[in-house]
Amino acid sequence: MSQPPLKAIHCFCLAAQHLSFKKAADEVAVTPGAISQQIKSLENWLGVTLFERRARSIVLTEAGNAYYRRIAPLMDELVSVSQSMQQVDRLKVVHLALPPAFALLFVGPALPAFHARHPDIELQLNVSPMLYSLQEAGNDLAVRYLPQADEQLDCTLLSRLELFPLCSPGYLAAHPELAQGRLHGVTLIHDLLHQDWQRLIQAHGLTLSATHRLHVDQAMIAHQAAENGLGIALGDSLHSRQGLESGRLVVPFAATLPARRHLYLAHARKPLLSPAACLVKRWIIDTFRDPALTPA
């Protein structure tokens, strides 16, 4: 004897539950005709008629009603067990949202060590400068620049940022007055992360004249523009570290300012994080948190 057509049985249960081929079709995203065809194949397999088709409605036959009462609990259990198994697998998948510069400079190089330590966890990275809501984007965790901890989220401060000017050694040599904080005839590079040139100028009483402006949408591009000698950018104590240590960038004059936004790891308070997401959270804090923020 051939195996019972499980797909057809599922369609029958939905149609019997709603007493409608259309509503059953809506649940599984097919046409009512496809549901009707599945049920006909089940009727042929069983050798009985399950529905009485009327002009604008359907009703269960006596045989159909008896079959539904017996098969529906079994189908519910099958669906429930399958969804549970699917959820077990999903618990090992962690969606992590990252700003582009942080992803490229820090998370990317650290991923091989993470995967070697946790080969069963599948990290899905969403790299974007946009601050989507966690629920909207489907992320479990997000690294974000925030003015302060968001009370609606569970937030951990990773790095408190400080701003200062940056340029290439060649640019400083071409504009020696920069060493005295004189911004004459230079190009100020503005980016969306640190829109603070005016604050820095006012806080340190800098003089400027005949300046030009270059606007970019990402801090990473601002750093590259500064490295290429296009002007002076605002760097910070985290993302500018590699450029300064390598000598590709220099600080032309002493002027610092607390950033308006700092680096946080955030996630929703409810539902609770999966065990895999908890491991990823711990890894991010242990790997990327500024040691100066750790209590003595």
Q: What is the pLDDT of residues 7-58, one digit of tens each?
A: 999 999 999 999 999 999 998 889 999 999 999 999 999 999 999 998 888 9
Whether residue 160 has pLDDT greater than 60:
yes
SS3 231: coil
Q: What is the mean pLDDT of residues 224-246?
A: 94
Number of alpha carbons in the 13 Å side-chain half-sphere of residue 170: 8
Residue 196: pLDDT band (50, 70, 90) is: very high
- Residue ranges and CATH numbers for the domains of the chain are 6-89 (1.10.10.10), 93-160+261-293 (3.40.190.10), 162-258 (3.40.190.10)
Please answer whether residues 46 and 70 qualify as being in contact, where contact means their C-beta atoms are separated by less than 8 angstroms.
no
| 55-108 residue pLDDT tens | 888 999 999 999 999 998 988 888 776 665 555 455 588 999 999 889 998 999
Per the prediction, the chain carries an average pLDDT of: 89
Percentage, residues of the chain above pLDDT 90 = 67
Alpha-carbon span 110 to 54, nearest angstrom: 65
pTM: 0.66
Residue 177: pLDDT band (50, 70, 90) is: very high
Question: What pLDDT was estimated at residue 269?
Answer: 87
Q: What is the mean pLDDT of residues 249-268?
A: 94
